[in-house]
Structure 1
C-alpha cells in the first residue's frame, strides 16, 4: 500500500468512528420510541460475500422485522471521506451501523475464510456490542463495545 492510500484509509476509519456514536444514539432513540428492547444483527462473511440479518425483541416477544420507520443516518462515502446524512429506513440504518462497525474494527472481515458473529443493541441499557469470530484455526470470539 502507498502512503496516500494509508492516509485515505485512516481518514475513512476516523470518519466512521465519528459517526458511530451519533448513529447509535439515533438508532436507540428510534427503537425506544417503537417500544423495541433489543435488536440482534447476525453477520456472516467469506470470499468477499456478506450476509446481515436483524431480529428485534419487544419484551419477551421476538419480532421478525424492525418497525418500518425512517431515521437520519450518517454514512461515510469513501471518495468524499466525510459523513453525509440521509433518511433511511430504520432496518437499513441498523444494518449500516453493524457494517460500519465491522469495517472500523475488523477491516477485511468478509475476505478469504471470513468471519461471523453478532452486533447487539440493548436499547434499555443503551449499549451496543459486537461479538466477532474469525474463521481461522485457533481464534476465539472477540467482544467490542460500540
Structure 2
C-alpha cells in the first residue's frame, strides 16, 4: 500500500466525490431507495494484475496496443447483449457511481431509471466477453445483468484509467443510455499539490 496520505483523504468534505461507503447500509438510507443498489465489492491494487511498464518500453507498448485492440473487438458485442436486456426490462438509463483512493476503490451506487414505474435490474443472465492482460484468449462469463454492469464498469476503468484507485484516486459516473445505446464516462481525478517558497534574509 502507498503510505502517502493527502489532507484531502482525511477530510471527506474536501476530497470531493461521492463519499466512502459506511460499513453497513441502513435500510432507511436514501441511497437504498427503489431503483438504487449498493455494492460492497472492493478492488485493491495488485502488481500481478495491474499492467506495469516492463524494462523494455517498446515491448510494453506493443502489449498495451494488443490489449486495447482485443478490448475494442469485444466491446460492441457486450454492449448489444447488455442493452438488449435493459431495453426488454423497460429501463431507459443506468447510472453507476464509483469512488476510490488509497489503493482501493468500489462502485458506490447503481441508479436505474425505467420508462415508467419503479423496477430493479432484471435477473436475466447474459454472456459477457472479457480480455485479459497478456493473454490472447477471450474469457466468456455468464452473469446476471447486475454483475455484467459492474464487471464492464471495472473493465472500462482499467482500460482507460488504469490505477484510478491509487493515491488520491478518482471518482465519477458511468451513464448507460439504453435508447442511444451509449456508455458515457465522467471521470474526475484527485491530486495533492504543493508550493515551494525559498527566502533568504
TM-score, with structure 2 as normaliser: 0.61
Equivalences, count: 137
Q: Does 1:121 align with 2:176?
A: yes
Structure with the bigger percentage of strand = 1
Q: Which of residues 96, 108, 111 in structure 1 aligns to 2:151?
A: 96
Deviation sequence 1:57-105 (CA, Å, 0-9, x none) = 1125555x42211001011122424322221111111111111211122
Structure showing greater radius of gyration is 2
Aligned to 2:64: 9
Structure with the bigger percentage of helix = 1
Gaps of 5+ in 2: 1-52, 194-201
Deviation sequence 1:87-144 (CA, Å, 0-9, x none) = 1111111111111211122121111111000000011222210000001269xxxxxx
Aligned to 2:78: 23
Aligned to 1:40: 95
Work out the CA distance in 1 between the residues paired with 2:160 and 2:190.
16
TM-score, with structure 1 as normaliser: 0.82
Work out the CA distance in 2 between the residues paired with 1:136 and 1:106.
14
Where do 4+ consecutive residues of structure 1 move more than 6 Å?
none
Q: Which of residues 106, 111, 115 in structure 1 aligns to 2:166?
A: 111
CA RMSD of aligned residues (A): 2.0
Gaps of 5+ in 1: 139-146
